[in-house]
Chains A and B, each alone.
Chain A
């Protein structure tokens, strides 16, 4: 790069951006409407979804989904925004949840406030635990932090069978949410009441977490993630920046725990253990750690896989795991990153270039993948079905899993589907490059 190249922007600046204070105004005024829109859409969606999906099981799924959304967003305050990989974050949600169960069982105290307030106590307990653990775990990020989080997580999960008074041993702790003070006459007897309680907290928590990312300490969390040393030479202690993120994350995890307590009215060791911590890592990463809304998508997709797919097949965890590995390998930005990849093409007005190539590649790929799944399911059936049971049903087609023909068909579908997808990939790549290139290349 030459001297003139470096200096030119400054000289031409007068001609292009007219008023130096304009960006400031634009940010101040424009962002209000721009940033409010997704929140309003979100709130409206939350409000009307129960009228679209009216069944009780749909409500159950959505309740679980929104709780996972809060938990995943809280987790991403660490992973995505602060660069801290935690393997034991379930304990903050879990302890918040257990605390809420105990409050539910302290009938006099519980009867003195309405139920929607309860998650705040969960948040405070989650935050309290994060204050203690964070005081020593946030000294460094990276492997040390990850190992401490794993150790503390295991420690607390293991103590659930020792400290029976608090964690209730193997049965866990259960309670009854309806003993709270009625909230405008509502005692939260029905699932739908709980749904709106959770929806309220999703919006509030997500908004607060979003705002947090716009505060000085939230911005510095990004800086510390990118380059802790540089942040230190700007007057910020990387350790304290991490600590504040950690405590805030603990608070929102605790809120999620409190909502879990309200929704299920029982907490067990399962809410604390490494498997739960692993799942929230998976959910967050699947959705995409690089964008604020990534964990929301991750929570929705994962909960659907976990609930809807698990009704269809015993192997849902296998597919979820495969999806996760594929995401990590091919789309490190997660589903959100995958979506945001298309923004440049839309901005150039060339997204239409992608439709046909996508159809040509993705539909055969999807069919081929289903063929692969069929092979997996058939193998599973042959190995695990009761002896003599050779009949199975796949995609509404009943057949004999010990016969040759279904295997040949499934393998052929997989091979042909993936083969076509592979053959059309170069065309898709060309279309992609075309769609992401501005104009006629002047």
Chain B
């Protein structure tokens, strides 16, 4: 088997005496769609923040395509091809939708910190930005300040910003949080479309979305992964049912 896209080795995180992540080992293959589920407070978002270096792990390692990410800053990890979205919408509210996406393209297109290029002189930059806007169905909103968009549109923009740079590992933190059913279907479809051929890691509460999207599922309970496997296997695992899923499935129905 080739090198996994993302590899977690004995990842631990404590805040003071509280152990939030208590030793997570996980391998996510290239091109896999992987969902992390678990009850509230299980540490799903913390796990995300550890992988993307928003927090430094207390112990353990994260490897991206086999490369150790210890000690790197978020922007350095992003440059290596890992991009994430946030649970709480995290866009540039005062800038236009177009500029939001364009900013996400700048580094990937090699502009770095340059002050000798003019962004609106670059046909390629404008065209790729418009292409992304088209993909996330926001072309109509192109010149509006991002902060004025509806919630679902902001979530779509958030996903657009996340995928724009062309990262091959995409991490989405609860992309459908706080959405109605129809909005959820819309975002699910969008995620399927824009992450084609990429590795997707997502935290999600909505079981419908998880079973629709994920190739494999990991169940995180109290900072430990108690099961990893295909959706059907995880659903059948008695430990999972006891800890979390049974309850969730009941409320789903």
Residues of A within 8 A of B (CB): 1-3, 5-7, 9-10, 12-13, 16-17, 20-21, 23-24, 27-28, 31, 211-212, 214-220, 222-223, 226-227, 229-238, 240-241, 244, 248
Contacts and interface: CB of A to CB of B under 8 A. Distances in A.
Greatest chain B CB density within 10 A among A24, A27, A234 is at: A234
Interface in B124-149: 126-127, 130-131, 134, 137-142
A251 to B, nearest CB: 11
Contact of A16 (B73, B78, B127, B140): B140
A235 B127 contact: no
A215 B119 contact: yes
A227 B90 contact: yes
Given A1-B183, A7-B137, A233 B78 contact: yes
22 contacts: A6-B183, A9-B138, A10-B134, A13-B139, A23-B126, A24-B126, A214-B118, A217-B113, A218-B115, A219-B102, A230-B86, A232-B73, A232-B74, A233-B52, A234-B75, A234-B103, A235-B165, A236-B107, A237-B73, A241-B113, A244-B115, A248-B115
A28 B130 contact: no
Contacts, number: 150
Interface residues of B, number: 58
Given A28-B121, A233-B52, A233-B83, A217 B137 contact: no
Given A215-B116, A232-B78, A244-B115, A24 B186 contact: no
A233 B113 contact: no
A20 B91 contact: no
Given A3-B185, A6-B183, A235 B139 contact: no
Nearest 4 pairs of A and B residues by beta carbon: A235-B107, A3-B182, A9-B140, A216-B111
Contact of B152 (A6, A27, A212): A6
Given A3-B185, A6-B156, A222-B95, A233 B123 contact: no
B214 to A, nearest CB: 22
Contacts of A20: 127, 130-131, 134, 139
Contacts of A16: 140
A28 B79 contact: no
Contact of B137 (A6, A215, A216, A235): A6
B137 A24 contact: no
B106 A226 contact: no
Nearest to A241: B113
A267 to B, nearest CB: 29
Given A27-B120, A216-B114, A226 B185 contact: no
A217 B119 CA distance: 10
Contact of A23 (B52, B94, B142, B180): B142
B17 interface: no
Contact of A234 (B107, B113, B153): B107
Contacts of B93: 226-227
B130 A234 contact: no
A24 B120 CA distance: 8
B90 A230 contact: yes
A9 B113 contact: no
A9 B107 CA distance: 29
Given A7-B137, A31-B120, A226 B95 contact: yes
A21 B156 CA distance: 22
Given A1-B150, A6-B137, A211-B118, A244 B113 contact: yes
A28 B127 CA distance: 12
B127 A226 contact: no
B2 interface: no
A21 to B, nearest CB: 7
A248 B93 CA distance: 25
Contacts of A234: 75, 78, 83, 103-104, 106-107, 161, 165
A235 B120 contact: no
